[in-house]
Amino acid sequence: MPLLSVVIPAFNEAGTIRQLIEKVNAVGLDKEVVVIDNGSTDGTDKILRQINLPNLKVVHHLVNRGKGGGVLTGIAHAEGEFVVIQDADLEYDPNDFLKLMEAIRTANADLALGCRFTKGYHGLFLHRMGNKFLTRLLNRLFGAKFNDYATCYKLARTDVFRNLGLKANGFEIEIEILCNALKKKLKIIEVPVSYHPRSYQQGKKIRWIDGLWAVFYIIKYRFFGG
């Protein structure tokens, strides 16, 4: 059984998926790489079929089931002791897995979040402001003290993820993971990580409407459950 399962939901990431897998594979940890091709139409699936690595596991969705659907499939197929979620672009540095693993063990925590803001994150202005507002809203409703609720990097034992009762199919999976963990009173820590945001021209998928939906889901998970 590998130590770490790196779950990578991918939708139309032909420009980055090969390089991303190479970067993940180069990290000095005992790991498997679980890629979920989420109904891609740009050739991402063909590239994945060309990559031959003994620790690579690829699952193909015939249609796009959303980021949450990809994450849930990845967790279901994970065989590692721990799972970390990795976006298929190059915004995050997989070398930070080492910091997340060390921190979660040192702190004896249940869930480690890769926090971007403590490293002087200078992403897109509206994204940065929206993230701050939504993080404050979540903190207020749950009595938490997070700096970056919407980070991609979430690392926990595989059984922790599987016991969170996750159901979300879209980007709200990020909110559901954190809210359900808070409700279960799990010990959550934030670890500073590197971040290199891409532009919409480079393929960034989050839009302003996702911020409005995030408000809805934060309130929903706080007061009405999943």
**Tens-digit pLDDT profile for residues 68-83:** 999 999 999 999 999 9
pTM to 2 decimal places: 0.91
Check if the beta carbon of residue 83 is closer than 8 Å to that of residue 158: yes
How much of the chain exceeds pLDDT 70, in percent? 89
pLDDT tens digits, residue range 7-38? 999 999 999 999 999 999 999 999 999 999 99
4-223 architecture in CATH? Answer: Alpha-Beta Complex (3.90)
Q: For residue 23, what are the CA distances in angstroms to 7, 61, 69, 93? A: 14, 24, 24, 8
